Each structure stands twice: as C-alpha cells, then as structure tokens.
Amino acid sequence: MKDHAVSSNRAIQQTLATYGGLLVAILALLGFFGVFAKNFLTATTLLTMANSIPDITVVAVGMTLVLIAGGIDLSVGSVLALSACCLGWLMVDLKLPLWLASLGAIALGACCGGLNGWISAAFRIPAFIVTLGMLEIARGSAYWITDSNTKYVGSSLGWFSDPIAPLGVSVSFLIATAVVLAGQWLLHQTVLGRTAVAIGTNAESVRMAGIRTTAPMVTLYAICGGLCGLAGMMQSSRLSTVDPNSGVGMELSAIAACVIGGTSLRGGQGSVVRTFFGVLVISILQTGLAQLGATDPIKRIVTGGVIILSVLLDSLRKQSAIR
C-alpha cells in the first residue's frame, strides 16, 4: 500500500517536473488576462479559443515529430494552403463527395511531405533548404490551382468546425486532441517513434547500427504533410473558404510552439503533449492581447518577450533542478 502511494507520489512529481514550468506559464497568462481583460475567463472565450487552435495544433504535432527526428519542415503553411485549395477544387469544381475530396487533400499533403523527406534523406540535403523550396513550390501551386482567388466552399464542411451542441467544442478540436494523443503514443510506443528519436540524436550512429534512415524519415515527413492537409481542412471548414494565402508564416508559429514545449531543434528530444502546451501559450497570449485591444507594436513586443521568457524560465528551472 505504502509503496503504491510513494510511487504515485513520484509519478505526480515527475509529471510536475515535466509539465510544471509550462503549466505555470499558462496559468500565469490566464490569470493576467483574467484580471485585465473583461470577459476573458468565461466559458465562451475559452471555447472560442479551443475551437480556433485545432489547425495550428495539428501542424505543430507534425512539426514536433519532424524536429525530433532532427529535421525541420518550413513548408507546413504552404502545404496547408495547397491541400486546402486542392480540397476546394475537388469539392467545388469536380464535385467529388466530401470524404473523397478530404482524402485527396490529405493525400496530397502527405505526398508533399513525403517528397520533402525523400529528397532530404536520400540525397542528404539539409531539410531546411528542401522544405524552403517546397514552401515556394506549394504556395505557387496553390495560387495556380485557385487562380489566386479565395474560393467559397459553402457550409458542406461546416459541421467539422461548428461547436457540438452540448460540449461547446468542435469536431476539429476533438480530432486535434486525438492527434496530440496519437502523436505522443507514436513517439513513445512505436518502432517508428523510437527510430525517430534515435535518428534525431545521432543519424550517423543509427546508420552505423545498420538501420535504414530514409524510410522512417519519409514516413515522418509524410505524416507531417498529411497533418498539414488535415489542418487545411480544419481551416477551410472554419472559414467556409479555401484561400491560397492561408498559413503564411505558420512554420514559425509551429516551431515556436514546439520549442516553447521543449523540443530541441537539434533533434532527439521533445514531447508532443508539451508542444500542445506551447500552442496554448501562444494562443492564450494572442487572444488575451486581442481582447485587451493592445496596439500592434505592443502586441508584437509582448509576444516576443513572452516567447523568450517562457523558454528562459524553463531553462533556469531545469538548471536549478540539476544543482
């Protein structure tokens, strides 16, 4: 009995050690805006926030997987836009049924991602440059298939992002949560996940151990691309529109969420759940500042400051814990 209590106590401590810094940051932000912004700490605001983060959450999960394996994907925003535009084209112009169109969009995202992974892994080219190229290519293609126009897709996708009556959260949000959990599971409980961590730690050693690295990298990038496609669907359904300009700059927000969550850009370290907390930090900050009606300069300065501070605090906490 006593043993059990001790071990659960230890589990709590460990959880606190893992998530503590981030939870404190999130609570501090909530508290701050709760005090200074009217109507911030209300169910409506929190639900609104919940329903507006699925897309970035899903993208950040994909990014986490890629970062942990020592890669990076700068093309997430463009691939999101391309998938969304493809979805619009399939639904509106080709009049395909929704499920087929969605499948097509996600598959297109996965292909873009897989291509990223294949080129960078098979030819040993820095992922940064490959995905930067893909950023341009996918964005260009998105303009091309939509003729640089936003396209109205109507409400056929609406159910995807409309709040479910009794819960208040949308299907998208539930899916995003599922993706987070699945991502964490993938990372810890599957061969692919452990291989990803290994490759991120030291790709050369992994090759020395006789393990092929190309196939897992392609799979991981394809997952990331597919998740961008899913995020594109989520965004389109929320706006009832597909927009070739969507997701501009998303790569930086996604990476910021990952790094705030403690994922290392050198690979080998990271956690999907913590990335989710990183997303929360960023979106609480955005929403709070918007509700305060802060001016643009202040918004940006504060955002920058909080990003640095949250990581700084976490690092100081860890250093003091070591001593």
Q: Which residues bind its own copies (CB under 8 A)?
A: 74, 119, 123-126, 128-130, 132-141, 143-144, 148, 252, 255-256, 259-260, 264-266, 296-305, 307-308, 311-312, 315-316, 319
Q: Which two tokens stand for residue 57?
A: 């959450």
Residue count, binding to other proteins (CB under 8 A)? 75
Site string for other proteins, 246-265 (x = CB under 8 A): xxxx----------------
Closest to its own copies by CB, 137 vs 174, is 137
Q: Which of other proteins, its own copies, none interacts with 135 (beta carbon under 5 to 8 A by kind)?
A: its own copies
Q: Which of 186, 228, 260, 285 binds other proteins (CB under 8 A)?
A: 186
Q: Closest Cα to residue 314, out of 4, 3, 23?
A: 23
HSE-up of 120 (CA within 13 Å, CB side)?
30
> Which one of residues 238, 278, 282, 311 is an interface residue with other proteins (CB under 8 A)?
238
Closer to other proteins by CB, 97 or 154: give it.
154
CA 129, CA 291: separation in Å to the nearest integer? 38
Using CB under 8 A, which residues numbered 2 to 61 contact other proteins? Answer: 37-40, 42, 44-45, 47-49, 51-52, 55
By CB under 8 A, residue 274 contacts other proteins: no
Identity of the residue, 169 or 302, whose beta carbon is nearer to its own copies in the bound complex: 302
Helix/strand/coil (H/E/C) assignment for every residue in 273-313: HHHHHHHHHHHHHHHHHHHHCCCHHHHHHHHHHHHHHHHHH
C-alpha to C-alpha distances, 168 to 153, 161, 237, 281, nearest whole angstrom: 24, 11, 17, 21
What's the half-sphere exposure (Cβ side, CA atoms, 13 Å) at 276?
Answer: 17
- The interface with other proteins within residues 104-143 (CB under 8 A) comprises 143
Say how far apart CA 309 and CA 305 lie, in whole Å. Answer: 6
Smaller CB separation from its own copies, 102 or 146: 146
Q: Does 163 bind other proteins (CB under 8 A)?
A: yes
Quick one: how far is CA 268 from the chain centroid? 18
